[in-house]
A and B are shown apart, each in its own frame.
Chain A
Amino acid sequence: MNPVNYLYLAALLFTVGATGVLIRRNAIVVFMCVELMLNACNLAFVVFSRMHGNLDGQIIAFFTMVVAAAEVVVGLAIIVSLFRTRHSASVDDASLMKL
């Protein structure tokens, strides 16, 4: 087996996550799908690091993790405050700006 297969797996996971973001309407699940996409990218970075034989890919994956952690903190805070005002976590309900 060539490590390229890991890249195919990462692409598949990313696609599944992206489809989930488009399909689901519960804000929390949408957010989980975004996390899945980030994880798939991390896997690709780690595999690239192995293919090139240096650690730069792993550093990028590390930074992605940090940014993801910050993103989760703020995103979940937004979801909680949305839920407080609307009593629903559905992304369809936040349509105040719609004509």
Chain B
Amino acid sequence: MSAQQLAAYTTSTGEAFQFWVLGTFAVIGALCTVLMKKAVHSALCLAGTMIILAVFYLANGAYFLGIVQIVVYTGAIMMLFLFVVMLVGVTAADSLKETIKGQRWLALLCGVGFGVLLFAGIGNASLTEFNGTGRANANGNVEGLAALIFTKYVFAFEITGALLITAAVGAMVLTHRERTERAKTQREMAEQRIREGRHIPPLPAPGVYARHNAVDVAGLLPDGTPSELTVNKTLRERGQIRDVSAEALNDLRALEQRAAERLERTEVEPATFKRPEEASK
């Protein structure tokens, strides 16, 4: 059987359908990656696009690459991205003010021009028939790839190993920070606390009764005002404190009213608060 006979002109209808449906989503995901204001949303959109690309790899007969795409790209690389986004701060949204005048429109123009150039290039190439990976994958895709990697591309493969080791060492060197002073021991910190005379007991816990025990909910003082001391220092500095004092007081008022209705009292003065057992006497 010659290569000419193997050549085909169209794919199956199922694949065409898959291409048009998933391709639309891939482009939407890519556009969202660029246009979303928050980095986390961009990362999630990009992960979606990458999964769709993995499906396309599988459809094109690259079974090994399709799985590797999911494991390495969406599994490892995108999670690394999300990790760094968390580290750098989720709330740090991009400033949308232009620093260079007209840069955005020029960039858009460049993009469109580049796209037109690429499309014209592909359109001009006479790519009407294709061979398909059926014969290349005859002994299995992974076996075929392995045979090539360990014979024709073995040198490139070995250099890849060196590259990976260099990258790992480079990342460690770049993010390593030398301590300039010795870390305080627990004993020293306790002594310092006593000497300063502030907050000698442990800090109060966050949360209000049993209803709001999240760490960003400030605990309430006896008069109903939130105590900033109960919230973690990082959250305090970011201003991410949820104030539920009004809610708690409203709850209390509702409870009082319900108790009053049940005990068939006529009126409750909001200023005087009596405990239920005293009221029932």
Q: Give residues in A with beta carbon < 8 Å to B.
A: 1-9, 11-20, 22-26, 28-29, 31-33, 35-36, 39, 42-43, 46-47, 49-56, 58-59, 61-63, 65-74, 76-81, 83-84, 88-90, 92
Contacts and interface: CB of A to CB of B under 8 A. Distances in A.
B53 A8 contact: no
A53 B136 contact: yes
Given A55-B145, A59-B149, A66-B164, A33 B122 contact: no
Contacts of B112: 15
6 contacts: A2-B10, A4-B127, A53-B3, A66-B164, A69-B72, A77-B174
B150 to A, nearest CB: 11
A70 B166 contact: yes
A37 B168 CA distance: 23
A16 B27 contact: yes
A60 to B, nearest CB: 9
Contacts of B144: 55
Contact of B34 (A20, A71, A79, A83): A20
A46 B118 contact: no
A69 B89 CA distance: 23
Interface stretch (B75-83, B209-217, B266-274): B75-83
B6 interface: yes
A49 B31 contact: no
A80 B127 contact: no
Nearest to B157: A63
Interface string B182-209: 0000000000000000000000000000
Interface residues of B, number: 86
Contacts of B137: 55
A67 B156 CA distance: 11
Given A39-B50, A59-B148, A76 B62 contact: no
Given A2-B10, A28-B81, A53-B135, A17 B94 contact: no
Given A53-B133, A74-B174, A79 B110 contact: no
Contacts of B11: 1-3
B240 interface: no
B180 interface: no
Given A8-B119, A53-B132, A84-B177, 20 more contacts: A2-B10, A7-B127, A11-B115, A22-B110, A23-B108, A24-B34, A28-B43, A35-B77, A36-B46, A46-B56, A50-B133, A55-B141, A56-B148, A63-B153, A65-B68, A67-B163, A68-B77, A73-B80, A73-B168, A77-B174
B81 A19 contact: no
Given A13-B26, A77-B171, A7 B122 contact: yes
A80 B69 CA distance: 25
A76 B53 CA distance: 23
A26 B175 CA distance: 19
Nearest to A78: B174
B245 interface: no
A55 B147 CA distance: 10
Contacts of B130: 2-3, 50-51, 53
